[in-house]
A and B are shown apart, each in its own frame.
Chain A
Amino acid sequence: MTCAEANRLIGPWLDDELDVRSIVELEGHIARCPTCGQEKNELLALRETAREQLPRFDPPPGLEERFLRAVRKIAAPRSRPAHRWLREAGLMAAAACLAVTATVSLQRSVDPRDEIVDAHLRSLQAGHLTDVASSDQHTVKPWFQGKIDFGVPVSDFAAEGFPLVGGRLDMVAGRPVAALVYRRRQHLINVFVGPAAHRDQPLRSVSSRGYQLSSWAQGGLQYRLVTDVAAPEADQLVALLRAI
């Protein structure tokens, strides 16, 4: 065994990742070769030092509970469909038309994602995409002024492959929002911006009915992005928007 070969095997040996035959050969080599013996000592010294000296970052108290609460919160809607079905059945027995209304409103409350996807699909119909068609952020931004009661940050990301197509007014969850439209090759991306219930909210991304949806709040604005481009590309635009 040469020193170069031995040198390559010392780490895996100390990590218990070496097969028996190689261990025997390596130990034989190290017994004869002080240079490789030294290499072994140094790696051992580094390991001991790392284990003794490096800080152990334990989670702060309460972190686990906080995460579990967050998980239960998003888990809750998942267990609702059975519930909803029962309720629908009951209502149908009482009055068919009431049941239909209830189903619609229940679905709404269960899944706001549908509403976002619907708004996206609506925008793709002829003539609905933009009220102001411009790739110039300095044209689009002032257009919103006086039409909505909050400021909308508008940026063109043509250089990054997401040219701004324009903007329009839309409704999401019964509230007027600014819709910014971006293009990625032949695909369109709607970004709905409106006042947020909470100033900041971490990013959540899901896919629904073949569309990518991302939602987050920052600076008091709620952003909801919807598109049919692939998730990694959608994430790129999300990152760009979050960095404005």
Chain B
Amino acid sequence: MPASTSLSDFEQALRTHLAAAHHLARWLTRTQADAEDVLQEAVLRAFRSFDRLRPTSPRAWLLRIVRNCCYDLRKQSERDAEATFEEDALPLDAASPVLGVPVENPEARLLRMADAQVLEGALRDLAPEYREVFVLREIEGLAYKEIAEVAGVPIGTVMSRLSRARAQLRVLIVASQQKETA
């Protein structure tokens, strides 16, 4: 019975990767309810194309669908806000805030002291295109190649987005801590 084989294969893939999918959806939507709505739609969409595609990397494939569903939701809710993403035109080294500052390195210490709230706030402030690469790399531990598949961009773009995500996060965290201590 091909139908039931594909169903059980799909169930297996879903059980294995639901935690990662849920995690990504929570980072790319605002509320738990939004995340669950998006996930349900993504899961059904994924199931419909599972037979046809038989993805070689079910994780990247499922995360890609989840990611696209999250962006669909964002497009709907921000239709008026018109928040289109543009790749940062700055060269990478100019985006890095630290070159040329004194050696003592207080920033690293500040970063280490950053509490959960500050870090989460900073990450939520990033453009989702930067947020997703950071979450996929640092928390999910995906390789660049897999991140490229999820985000639908070349590996070079993954590298530059990740670099900018890190640079922006550092600026945001340090700024918010300096505000606190001031």
Residues of A within 8 A of B (CB): 3-4, 7-8, 11-12, 15, 17, 34-35, 38-39, 41-51, 53-60, 63-64, 66-68, 70-72, 74-75, 78-79, 202-206, 235, 239, 242-243
Contact = CB atoms under 8 A, between A and B. Distances in A.
A6 B113 CA distance: 26
Interface string B111-150: 1101110011001000000000010011100011000000
Given A12-B159, A70-B40, A55 B3 contact: no
B112 A79 contact: no
B49 to A, nearest CB: 11
A119 B3 CA distance: 30
Nearest to A73: B44
B75 A42 contact: no
Contact of A71 (B14, B27, B37): B14
A57 B176 CA distance: 24
Given A67-B40, A206-B48, A239-B72, A42 B103 contact: no
Nearest to B39: A67
B interface residue count range (under 10 / 10 to 19 / 20 to 34 / 35 or more): 35 or more
B179 interface: no
B98 A42 contact: yes
Given A45-B108, A59-B18, A71 B11 contact: yes
A204 B44 contact: yes
Interface core residue of A42, A43, A48, A55 (most chain B CB under 10 Å): A42
B9 to A, nearest CB: 12
Interface of B: 1, 3-4, 7, 10-11, 14-15, 18-19, 22-23, 26-27, 32, 35-37, 39-41, 43-45, 47-48, 72, 75-76, 79, 92-93, 96, 98-101, 103, 105, 107-109, 111-112, 114-116, 119-120, 123, 134, 137-139, 143-144, 159, 162-163, 166, 169-170, 173
A58 B79 contact: no
**B contact face: mostly helix, strand, loop, or mixed:** helix
Nearest to B35: A57
Contacts of A71: 7, 10-11, 14, 43-44, 47
B108 A41 contact: yes
Contact of A39 (B44, B99, B138): B99
B76 A243 contact: yes
B99 A63 contact: no
B103 A49 contact: no
Contacts of B123: 50, 54
Contact of B22 (A50, A53, A58): A58
B41 A68 contact: no
A35 B7 CA distance: 54
Nearest to A59: B22
Given A11-B163, A202-B37, A243-B76, A67 B14 contact: yes
Given A11-B166, A54-B120, A67-B39, A42 B76 contact: no
B51 to A, nearest CB: 9
A239 B170 CA distance: 36
17 contacts: A3-B99, A4-B93, A8-B163, A17-B159, A39-B96, A44-B108, A53-B114, A53-B119, A54-B139, A56-B139, A59-B19, A63-B22, A74-B47, A75-B47, A79-B3, A204-B44, A205-B45
